[in-house]
Every structure is written in C-alpha cells, then in structure tokens.
C-alpha cells in the first residue's frame, strides 16, 4: 500500500480484534438488527437476503433483523422466521455467505407479543400479551400499517410453551449455522411487555413485583443459553425507549439494573443497549444510567443508537462501550468498517426502500471498492 500516515483515528481499537464470548471478532463494529421485510410469505429468507448480509460481512459481528420464533410471534408482514425446515435452509445460505467472507452472524430471536394484527396470526386469532392492554401502535400487515388490537392474555400454563419456542428457535439457529443468538428484549415487544409495569398487570408469578416481571425474560435467557451457551448468547435492552406504545417502566434504573445483575448468572457474551429512544434522540432516556448498567454487567457492553464515526471513536477513547452497533449507517454502507476506518464519505439511505421490495435500496448501495 506504500506509506500511509496513521492518524489517531485509524489507530483506534474500534478497528482492532476483540474477544466477544466464544469468538474473536475482527473489530468492534457491529451491524445492528434491521427489519427490512424482504422474506417471502412463508418467512423464508432467500438469495436477496443472503446477498445483503454477505455484503456486510466485514462487520465484527452481524446481528440479523428480528426473526420470528413461531408463527404467532409475527407482527410485520414479510419478516423471516426460524421455526421450520424451509426457513432453516434459507438461513443456512445466509450464514454460509457470511462465513465465506470471514464474518460472524447471530439471528435476533423475536416475539412481538401485542404488536401484531389478527391478519398476521395463524387462524386470524388475536395476538397474545401478558395483559389485555391495547397498545397505541401499528402493525405492518399485507394491507399496510394497521392499529394493533387489544391482545389476548396469555394463560400461565402457556408461558412455558413460549419459552420452549425460544429454545427451539435457538436450536434451529445453530442448525442453520449461526454463530450464536441475540434475544430481542427491547422496543416494547413480548419480553419487554412482561418486564415493564406499564404493560404488565398480571397477578400470577409473571406479574407484580420486579422479580416476577423479569421472570419470563430470565426463563427465556436460561432456555437459549442452555442451547447455545452463554458465550454465544447476547440480549438487547431498551430501558429508556417508549416505542411501540410501551410507556417506560416506573423505575427503569431499578428494573433493568435487576435484570442485568440476574443476567450475570448466565455468563452472556454481551448486553446490547439502545441508548435513548429507538430511532430517536440519544439524550431523552429519562435519566436511565447506561454506564451503571454497563458496570453492573460482567460481559461486554454493545452500545447502539445514532452513533457516527466521531461518537464511536469517542466511546472507545473514553471506554464508554466495548462494541458499537450501527443500524442506519449499515443500510446504505455495506463496507462501513472500511469507510469509518479511513473517514470516507457515507452513502445516504433511501427511506422509501426501508421496508419491502427487492434489491433496490437493499443490495445496490455501492462499496468504495467493488467486491
Ligand atoms: C422497525 C420496523 C419494524 C420492526 C424493532 C424489530 O424496533 C423492530 C422493528 C423496527 O426492534
């Protein structure tokens, strides 16, 4: 390459290998989970999706879009699943493509709970949730965005069945060649609906006290880590985000602090935290102390939300995070690691192609150097 002047930025350990649980990652840059609604109507990821992730394999780790753990887990049309053989086969091509380019990939295991619509549910039934509280939120159906209905309350005896669906999804993920899994416990979906006192009015062992509201989350973690091992398991949390009609917990620091302390028993690879409001400002987290969560947790801390090059370099320089995940920037920049490393200009994402459609606005964003 001839002589190159190393700047402080290119020497940042953001671009250096890091041990994350069972794996040495090539760098500390993570592709954040991004729902793009490009699977088929059976939730099977095809060649389009495989190409998309293969293009982004230079990330230290890719976390896939949310993946439905069961037919009832679905709240958005054309999102992929990981509960049947055809889906597992589809994912195998994804993981092979990423591995062939030296990357690592975890699927994000997802159950939407009440953020769904009868038209997306098997048999047209109501979506399920811890309590019968209708969210002020919409679900993306075959006929566009629709208001979510009042959900059906899960019976206590049904809850172990859902935990079991997570367990099987984790087994399927390993069968499909994934390197581990991330549990989606953020953004007002099922796990967080149990956790927050704003969305959980149960009077059984899964509601009431903080310990009871965290029970479902911890049972899911136990099941998934039991399959993958803690060193191949991560979890995503959004203590300060009121999205999907879920008002914040009345004491986020105490509730998520309790969760993180309990997670230490499972030796997870990481917590992946949305700092601030999902897809919104970083600042407005109603005083949630993310650094306290980080210090309470034994594994690595993966920070997310609105990071750019400068914020990410700063986070490493001042040791505010172990890894940084980028969502929006990864939509339009398949070679984001290289662009950040040399400070190159970034492609601008096109909102019109975020959800649904084909290769346009998905696989046609150029790399600096054509692959
Ligand atoms: C945007 C659109 C659809 C789903 C999340 C899985 O917020 C999502 C999601 C985001 O976690």
Query: Tens digit of pLDDT for each residue in 224-242?
Result: 999 999 999 999 999 999 9
Q: How confident is the model at residue 10 (pLDDT cuts 50, 70, 90)?
A: low
pLDDT tops 50 at residue 250: yes
In a domain? residue 229? yes
In a domain? residue 76? yes
Pocket mutation for ligand 1, best pick of 34, 35, 242 (most atoms within 8 Å of C-beta): 35
Q: Read off the pLDDT of residues 134-187 as tens digits, 9 standing for 90 and up.
A: 999 999 999 999 999 999 999 999 999 999 999 999 999 999 999 999 999 999
pLDDT at 277: 87
Q: How confident is the model at residue 371 (pLDDT cuts 50, 70, 90)?
A: low
Q: Read off the pLDDT of residues 114-123 as tens digits, 9 standing for 90 and up.
A: 999 999 999 9
Please list every protein residue whose CB sits less than 6 Å from any atom of ligand 1. Answer: 35, 66, 76, 187, 278
β-bridge mates for residue 107, sequence order: none
How much distance in Å is there from the Cα of 77 to the middle of ligand 1? 12
User: Per the structure block, which two tokens stand in for 17?
Assistant: 């290998």
pLDDT tops 80 at residue 6: no
How much distance in Å is there from the Cα of 282 to the middle of ligand 1? 17
In a domain? residue 111? yes
| Radius of gyration over every alpha carbon of the chain, rounded to an integer in angstroms | 19
Report which protein residue has its CA nearest ligand 1's atom 8: 35
Cα dist. 214→93, 198, 200, 294 in Å?
35, 13, 11, 18
β-bridge mates for residue 79, sequence order: none
Report which protein residue has its CA nearest ligand 1's atom 9: 35
Report which protein residue has its CA nearest ligand 1's atom 2: 35
Q: Rounded CA gap, 7 and 342, in Å? A: 9
pLDDT at 298: 98
Q: How confident is the model at residue 3 (pLDDT cuts 50, 70, 90)?
A: very low
Total Cβ atoms within 10 A of residue 312: 24
In a domain? residue 288? yes
In a domain? residue 92? yes
pLDDT tops 80 at residue 256: yes
List of residues 6+ apart from 154 with CB closer than 8 A? 128, 129, 130, 162
Q: Rounded CA gap, 342 and 109, in Å? A: 34
Phi and psi at 186, nearest 5°, equal -120, 180
Report CA dihedral (33, 34, 38, 41) to the nearest 10 degrees: 60
Report which protein residue has its CA nearest ligand 1's atom 7: 187
pLDDT at 281: 83
Which CATH number covers residue 95? 3.20.20.70
Pocket mutation for ligand 1, best pick of 32, 65, 66, 331 (most atoms within 8 Å of C-beta): 66
In a domain? residue 349? no
Which positions are catalytic?
Answer: 189
Indicate the number of domains in the chain. 1
pLDDT at 282: 83
How much distance in Å is there from the Cα of 4 to the middle of ligand 1? 41
The domain of 181 spans 15-324
In a domain? residue 216? yes
Report which protein residue has its CA nearest ligand 1's atom 11: 187
pLDDT at 2: 37
How do beta strands 144-147 and 138-141 pair?
A: antiparallel
In a domain? residue 330? no
Pocket mutation for ligand 1, best pick of 187, 277, 279, 330 (most atoms within 8 Å of C-beta): 187
């Amino acid at each position: 390459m001839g002589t190159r002047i190393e700047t402080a930025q290119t020497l940042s350990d953001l671009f250096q290998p890091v041990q994350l649980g069972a794996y040495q990652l090539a760098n500390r840059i993570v592709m954040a989970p991004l729902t793009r609604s490009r699977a088929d109507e059976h939730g099977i990821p095809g060649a389009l999706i495989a190409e998309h992730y293969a293009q982004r394999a230079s990330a230290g780790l890719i976390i896939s879009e949310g993946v439905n753990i069961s037919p009832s887990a679905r709240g958005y049309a054309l999102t992929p699943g990981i509960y049947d053989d055809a889906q597992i086969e589809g994912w195998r091509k994804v993981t092979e493509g990423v591995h062939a380019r030296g990357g690592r990939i975890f699927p994000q295991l997802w159950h939407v709970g009440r953020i769904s619509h009868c038209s997306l549910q098997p048999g047209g039934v109501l979506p399920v949730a811890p309590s019968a509280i209708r969210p002020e939120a919409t679900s993306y159906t075959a006929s566009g965005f629709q208001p979510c209905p009042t959900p059906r309350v899960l019976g206590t005896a049904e809850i172990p069945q859902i935990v079991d669906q997570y367990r099987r999804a984790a087994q399927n993920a390993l069968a499909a060649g994934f390197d581990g899994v991330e549990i989606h416990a953020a953004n007002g979906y099922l796990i967080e609906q149990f956790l927050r006192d704003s969305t959980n009015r149960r009077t059984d062992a899964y509601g009431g006290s903080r310990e009871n509201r965290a029970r479902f989350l911890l049972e899911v973690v136990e099941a998934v880590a039991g399959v993958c091992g803690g060193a191949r398991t991560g979890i995503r949390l959004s203590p300060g985000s009121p999205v999907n009609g879920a008002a914040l917990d009345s004491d986020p620091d105490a509730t998520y602090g309790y969760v993180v302390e309990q997670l230490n028993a499972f030796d997870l690879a990481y917590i992946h935290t949305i700092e601030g409001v999902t897809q919104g400002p970083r600042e407005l987290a109603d005083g949630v102390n993310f650094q306290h969560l980080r210090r309470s947790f034994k594994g690595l801390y993966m920070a997310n939300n609105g990071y750019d090059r400068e914020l990410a370099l700063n986070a490493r320089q001042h040791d505010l995070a172990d890894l940084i995940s980028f969502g929006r920037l990864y939509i339009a920049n398949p070679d984001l690691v290289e662009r950040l490393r040399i400070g190159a200009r970034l492609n601008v994402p096109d909102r019109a192609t975020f959800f649904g459609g084909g290769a346009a606005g998905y696989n046609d964003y150029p790399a600096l150097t054509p692959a």
